[in-house]
Structure 1
């Protein structure tokens, strides 16, 4: 490389070196270093080779809570038109970035819509670009709903129906481009974790799903460092915040006033019960009450429970399950 490094590239080289010096010499970045490094990335101030090395070194070393917190802070600072001042009050943040092979239809979307009809303002955001299953956008289209492409549209959707879906490429295109680098690497990068924790509406509470249990403590640790008000995390199908109806689920919670806790939620359906068609038409039939496949309905109701546990401090799991059933029964046509 004959050309002289720019100021940003020279500064960023130090961060790559810190991560990659080798056994006994390398270390994780501090929160402040990670924030500065990712700010350089998102402002296109680094060389493409530096970026690839940076992302894969972060992955290889393992994701560190301080490091991820700094990355999230930089990503949030780069988001234009987000926050409560731009979209209005958000009660529940619902990231959807699942890409696992085990992910079926987005039954959790029906849960989020039912929660919004119960009077809560729900902002779902994400991308399902790396999933072979039905995307949230396609499922919404089948239900006659549109995605929101800017802050004004999000605010309007929240005001009119209490629910909005905001694709990440519309509010954080830089983050979306980094997510898309998975095609080059053949591997996810820590940006996947960052995206889940973006909380573009500064919500009062969040529900989140992870694919690997090891990420649960990481997500809670970042929420703690950022002093998020409430975050509930589960190991969900395909990495989504969706409670599997046929097995017990551990729900891990962070609250700024009480710290961390864990709840064991029971199975709601037998593994032998039919789940329901993993198609857009199947989702629509379940919402309309035209198909009462028990496992599918219990998945939706159980996921409503997750939202209530995140939203309402002090509510017990059994009471949340009962109320979730009432919310589902009271849903209205879209």
Structure 2
């Protein structure tokens, strides 16, 4: 799609993604319309089944998703769009356009200058929780934060039948953040900040919750795992479950994602979470400035099983995490290696950003 520069007035509260988009995309402007959005022409393109459907351009995808976020699409059309995309699958251009609109819909998080450490912030989405294994995403976050990394987790507070990171943090005595100021306080105290998606991006939370009505996930479940909420470059930990999403997300991060927004680690999820599997390490790919590097190779044979929580409930998991934080030898090797890679890239990203800024 061709982009033409348009002189616009940019509000200071906008995300870097929103500012970039408005300067380069004539589809976006500062005036939020409340008029109903006619979505039939888009449904006609994407609703022809897996083989007959055509993908939207980045600009059209941005327009459509922005209208969905603003509540300008009727319930009937919304259901049609969500199910059509579920069947068709998102293209790179569509996921880019959706993400443009998504990141323009919420206020970005800044890192106070007096609190800037030697690390770029790390973003950990947590939307799956666990059913069988203990959810060790909070352990990963706590290990990174105590090294001085600004760590933001965002996700759902509860999920029936699963143990969420929010529930484990609650058991650990860490309250969720409802404001940017509370997030920044956590960074100063060198503890992870968990912000529910309802507080971070309420418009996205509304679309995410439509899973309860439709019974299936929608594109927003992919988008929340790749948003970059910071005003500075950050390292995003991202996971996938189905192989087709590995292909699509890899192509997006290689060809389309803005390098100035930071780097990405992409791995197969541990029950959907971005923490390394404690029993057998997954492959972790690092995307940096349109290059892809494998940092961790997939472990084919599990080593001697580490000592893990006996049960997956929040209380048992939180008690075990406290032990692991006090006894480093309890931390599973795959998670230790993941922490090391995160620290290395986060530190390099921070140094590069400050070199570029100067």
Q: Same fold (TM over 0.5)?
A: yes
Aligned partners of 1:262, 1:155: CA distance in 2, in Å? 32
TM-score w.r.t. the length of structure 1 is 0.80
Asked if 1:250 is matched to 2:276, the reply is no
- Once the two structures are TM-superposed, the CA of residue 57 in structure 1 deviates from its matched residue by 0.6
Give the 3-state SS of the residue equivalent to 2:99 in structure 1.
helix
Asked if 1:78 is matched to 2:130, the reply is no
Give deviations 1:235-274, integer Å, cap 9, x for gaps: 1211111111322421122101x51122415479636554
- Conserved? CA contact 2:267–2:282, under 8 Å: yes
Give the 3-state SS of the residue equivalent to 2:207 in structure 1.
helix
Asked if 1:93 is matched to 2:123, the reply is yes
Give deviations 1:13-54, integer Å, cap 9, x for gaps: 211112124687631111111000011111111101101100
Aligned partners of 2:269, 2:51: CA distance in 1, in Å? 36
Aligned partners of 1:62, 1:183: CA distance in 2, in Å? 20
Cα-Cα RMSD: 3.0
- Once the two structures are TM-superposed, the CA of residue 306 in structure 1 deviates from its matched residue by 4.8
- Conserved? CA contact 1:274–1:294, under 8 Å: no
Asked if 1:210 is matched to 2:240, the reply is yes
TM alignment of 1:100-139, pairs within 5 A: 101-102=131-132, 104-127=133-156, 129-130=158-159, 132-139=161-168
Aligned partners of 1:271, 1:67: CA distance in 2, in Å? 43
Tell me which of 24, 45, 48 is aligned to 2:75. Answer: 48
- Conserved? CA contact 1:123–1:201, under 8 Å: no
Count, aligned residues: 305
Asked if 1:234 is matched to 2:267, the reply is yes
Give the 3-state SS of the residue equivalent to 2:81 in structure 1.
helix
- Once the two structures are TM-superposed, the CA of residue 145 in structure 1 deviates from its matched residue by 1.3
TM alignment of 1:1-334, pairs within 5 A: 8-10=36-38, 12-21=39-48, 26-79=53-106, 81-84=107-110, 91-98=121-128, 101-102=131-132, 104-127=133-156, 129-130=158-159, 132-202=161-231, 203-224=233-254, 225-227=256-258, 228-256=261-289, 259-263=291-295, 264-266=297-299, 270=303, 272-277=305-310, 278-279=312-313, 280-289=315-324, 297-298=332-333, 300-308=335-343, 310-311=345-346
- Once the two structures are TM-superposed, the CA of residue 192 in structure 1 deviates from its matched residue by 0.3
Give deviations 1:217-248, integer Å, cap 9, x for gaps: 32333334122421001112111111113224
| Bigger shift: residues 82-91 or 234-243 | 82-91
- Conserved? CA contact 2:129–2:135, under 8 Å: no
